[in-house]
Amino acid sequence: MALQVFTAVTGAAWESELVGALDRQDHGVTVVRRCVDVADLLAAATTGTGQAALLSAELRRLDGAAVARLTAAGIAVVGLVEPGDSGATDRLRQLGVARVLPADAPPEEIAEALRAAVSGAPSSGHDVGDPRAALPVLGLPPEPATRPAGRGRVVAVWGPTGAPGRTTVAVGLADEAARLDVPTLLVDGDVYGGVVAQLLGLLDESPGIVAAARQATAGTLDAAGLARLAWAVTPQLRVLTGLTRADRWPELRPQGIGVLLEEARRLSALTVVDCGFSLEEDEELAFDTAAPRRNGATLTVLAAADEVICVSGADPVALQRTVRALAELRDVLPDVSPQVVVNQLRRGPVPGDARQEIASALRRFAGQEVRAFLPADRRATDAALAGGRTLAEVAAGSPLRTGLRTLAAELAGVPATTGRRSRRSG
């Protein structure tokens, strides 16, 4: 049976000739619809009559979100560019189109690329409206077998609802890694109420992550552009500020966040992302198309991260929430293996030896070992919050700061005793 293909290359001088060549000769490809724009193509994708889409880089309003929706609908995508246009090729690849050919390629080569795209298209096993449907396609070409030298690591700091101190841990890890001479980017990715800027005394009201995600979705973000959007807090630490209003969460689409993380790997040796707590899938909502999902950004970060740190509190209520959150994470992203960090450890809430009791409870009820315990130090955290400074700046000898420094060194793969004191540059 011939491969059913949609085309969306209107406006190109070679479009009619190419469609005619594909239809006239026996290439095993049939063009079932010639779409006039992205909206027409997305509507056609929902009909179930096609298996692949052939589109041009010049297609108006083409972005990464559209490519992700096509993939989620089971449509393999192949791009065509004007011969020699490397810029258009790079843009399509950033949008998530892995196979890109020059427009003057022979029809049989284009037909073969379409067949290869269909046979190699990932199947998510989820409905088009499920936020997990777009996770295998983060707007990037397939990963090479070996990573290029200099590719940075991404650490996601996540945890259950409540106040386990996710942001305090994320800020502390990023600051300590930077003080160990590791180029670090701190990203505020909390879609429910990011406060990284407030903790660091950054008064700018423009959310850097929104601008970066917008450029990523449009296929125009690069490492240099990401650097310009981030605050240079110290010589080794940049901060990409978060949403100034929680109702702006629709601007953080999963595909854009995936591209952002890839550029972050090119910009910094270590990227620390402060994530939102919720993994809800909003299954009571019924849509015919891939509607925006609030927690899609969080799921994308967790799926793409090299390491996921689950921050738990050290009292019975927080521990119960952690056990439930870990179970939910296993259900939604079974391939993610989080590391548990117990924060705010102190005497009182847990009788006996708190470390031993907490470790035993998490091992028994969640099947998780505790990677690190971070002691409660209210005086130091209050001083840091009041001054908009980091723990290292207001309480260099704090035991909490020592614990964060040790963990940061492990995550960055450097000795905890190296590095020099760094001062804010702006």
pLDDT digits (tens, 9 = 90+) for 19-67: 778 776 677 888 888 888 888 888 888 888 889 999 888 887 888 888 8
87 and 212, same structural domain?
no
283: amino acid identity, one letter = E
DSSP codes of every residue in 110-176: HHHHHHHHHHH-----S-TTSGGGGTT--SSPPPPSSPPTTPPEEEEEE--SS-S-HHHHHHHHHHH
Question: Number of folded domains in the chain?
Answer: 2
86 and 166, same structural domain?
no
Distance CA 123, CA 74 (A): 7
In this structure, is residue 128 part of a structural domain? no
89 and 175, same structural domain?
no
| Residue 350 contacts residue 314 (beta carbons within 8 Å) | yes
For residue 119 the two structure tokens come to: 């046979």
Name every residue whose Cβ is closer than 8 Å to that of residue 145 and which is 6 or more positions away in sequence: none
In this structure, is residue 426 part of a structural domain? no
In this structure, is residue 383 part of a structural domain? yes
Which residue is it, tokens 């052939």? 54
Residue 93 host element (H or E): helix 86-94
Statement: residue 170 has pLDDT above 70: yes
Name every residue whose Cβ is closer than 8 Å to that of residue 329 and which is 6 or more positions away in sequence: 279, 302, 310, 336, 338
Q: How many CB atoms lie within 10 A of CB 123?
A: 8
Distance CA 395, CA 24 (A): 75
300 and 166, same structural domain?
yes
256 and 330, same structural domain?
yes
What CATH number is attached to the domain comprising 104? 3.40.50.2300
Distance CA 323, CA 159 (A): 10
218 and 78, same structural domain?
no
Range of the structural domain that residue 192 is part of: 153-412
Tell me the average pLDDT across 318-336.
96
Residue-level pLDDT at 406: 97
In this structure, is residue 148 part of a structural domain? no
Tell me the average pLDDT across 176-199.
94
201 and 290, same structural domain?
yes
Numbers of helices and strands, H then E, in the chain: 16, 13
For residue 408 the two structure tokens come to: 């940061």
115 and 193, same structural domain?
no
Query: Cα-flanking dihedrals φ and ψ of residue 373, to 5°?
Result: -110, 130
In this structure, is residue 129 part of a structural domain? no
379 and 293, same structural domain?
yes
172 and 82, same structural domain?
no
In this structure, is residue 183 part of a structural domain? yes
Instruction: Return the minimum-mean-pLDDT range out of 22-26, 171-175, 206-210, 258-262.
Output: 22-26
336 and 258, same structural domain?
yes
Of the residues 74, 100, 122, the one at which a domain ends:
122
Over residues 354-378, the pLDDT tens digits come to: 999 999 999 999 999 999 999 999 9
242 and 189, same structural domain?
yes
Of the residues 71, 103, 122, the one at which a domain ends:
122
Residue-level pLDDT at 289: 47
Say what the pTM is: 0.74
Over residues 277-320, the pLDDT tens digits come to: 999 865 444 444 456 678 999 999 999 999 999 999 999 999 99
Over residues 90-122, the pLDDT tens digits come to: 888 888 898 999 888 888 898 899 888 888 754
DSSP codes of every residue in 277-331: S-----TT---SS----TTHHHHHHHHH-SEEEEEE-SSHHHHHHHHHHHHHHHH
